[in-house]
């Protein structure tokens, strides 16, 4: 089978690998759509394990069922979670599924930028979901990123009527804008340095947009009734964005770090000001099965518009172009790889 083998963000090669063989309890899935995630182009992190086949936002069709599998059959349309939590450890029982040891060691074989993947038994049992009728494969590839956003806003405890500032209007930022609308936020403001993405933020529900090259806290007060934001969501893991976020959170508000900085980068927090103003700092990583289930329903009910976010559909041979589009973060929002595209 053909795969897109990652060496670095500028070197993703079309290569051949054997179709994985499945064992008892496993599935073989033909990948129909696989989204390139912002974390796929975190080169400082990915290059340590290169060469490898990336891709964890997938939807596909079951083509082979291992012995003992009863819930699924050939021809079923599915979303499969790359990482799955055990559901029974102290972390999972306390709602922190994404720090579960099992989640951090599970994955499918090889990765979503391939014609086929082998789904291990534990992923079949704990991380495989049927796509509802009417949800396309390309829409199904959004389930994982939507689930991550569901989890993040649940952790941030966004309440009805609260104001929200989204720092960075890439895919994650735009999903946060839409999710804030789903959760009945009062006023949603989005920033970016790119006019294409600022226009997209407006199209996907932001009440106001701010160019990130200027005085973001000052402009925020102008468009938000003289106040800063009750919830500030950082969707750009660079220090200027972090600094703007710190300066933009209202008293009694929450600062949510959704995008990470590079490992080892220290972020200075004005602890006295945050203490005095009762500012909460929250983080969120990945999605739990609960979040995935909610994401599927949001997509099925068209409460979160995902199809309109796709700017590029590419085959495996064009995966290198896709990685550069995502890494450059300019005139693209969601890049989908379709392994079956000729």
Whether this model's pTM surpasses 0.85: yes
- Position 341 scores a pLDDT of 87
**Residue given tokens 């930028």 in the structure block:** 113
Q: Give me the residues of the chain with pLDDT under 50, please.
A: none
- Which residue intervals of 3-109 are DSSP H helices? 43-46, 90-93
Cβ-based neighbours of 230, under 8 Å, separated by 6 or more: 162, 163, 164, 250, 252, 253, 254
- Position 263 scores a pLDDT of 87
The first and second tokens of residue 127, run together, are: 């991380």
Residues 50 and 193: their CA atoms lie apart, in Å, by 31
- Position 44 scores a pLDDT of 87
- Position 262 scores a pLDDT of 87
- Position 166 scores a pLDDT of 98
**Start-end ranges of CATH 3.40.50.720 in the chain?**
147-283
**Start-end ranges of CATH 3.90.180.10 in the chain?**
2-142+306-337
Provide the CATH number for the domain formed by 147-283 in this structure. Answer: 3.40.50.720
User: CATH top-level class for 2-142+306-337?
Assistant: alpha beta
* Cβ pair 85, 288 in contact under 8 A: yes
- Position 130 scores a pLDDT of 98
Distances (CA, A) of 224 to 79, 163, 184: 39, 8, 16
């Amino acid at each position: 089978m053909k795969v897109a083998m990652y060496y670095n963000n500028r070197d993703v090669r079309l290569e051949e690998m054997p179709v994985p063989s499945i064992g008892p309890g496993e599935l073989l899935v033909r990948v129909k759509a696989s989204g390139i995630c912002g974390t796929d182009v975190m080169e400082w992190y990915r290059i340590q394990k290169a060469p490898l086949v990336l891709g964890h936002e997938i939807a596909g069709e079951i083509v082979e069922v291992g012995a003992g599998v009863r819930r699924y059959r050939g021809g079923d349309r599915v979303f499969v979670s790359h990482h799955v939590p055990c559901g029974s450890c102290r972390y999972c029982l306390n709602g922190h599924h994404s720090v579960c040891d099992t989640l951090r060691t599970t994955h499918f074989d090889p990765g979503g930028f391939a014609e086929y993947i082998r789904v291990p038994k534990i992923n079949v049992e704990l991380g495989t979901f049927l796509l509802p009728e009417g949800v396309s494969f390309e829409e199904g590839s959004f389930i994982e990123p939507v689930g991550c956003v569901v989890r993040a806003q649940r952790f941030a405890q966004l309440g009805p009527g609260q104001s929200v500032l989204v720092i960075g209007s890439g895919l994650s930022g735009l999903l946060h804008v839409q999710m804030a609308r789903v959760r009945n936020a009062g006023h949603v403001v989005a920033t970016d340095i790119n006019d294409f993405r600022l226009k997209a933020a407006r199209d996907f529900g932001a009440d106001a947009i701010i160019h990130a090259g200027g005085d973001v806290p000052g402009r925020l007060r102008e468009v938000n009734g003289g106040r800063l934001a009750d919830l500030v969501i950082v969707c750009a893991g660079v220090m200027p964005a972090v600094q703007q976020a710190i300066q933009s959170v209202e008293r009694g508000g929450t600062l949510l770090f959704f995008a990470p900085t590079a490992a080892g980068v220290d972020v200075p927090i004005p602890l006295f000001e945050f203490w005095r103003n009762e500012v909460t700092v929250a983080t969120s990583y990945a999605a739990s099965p609960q979040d995935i289930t909610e994401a599927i329903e949001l997509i099925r009910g068209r409460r979160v518009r995902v199809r309109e976010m796709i700017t590029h559909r590419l085959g495996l041979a064009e995966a290198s172009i896709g990685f550069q589009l995502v890494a450059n973060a300019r005139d693209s929002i969601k890049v989908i790889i379709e392994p079956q595209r000729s």
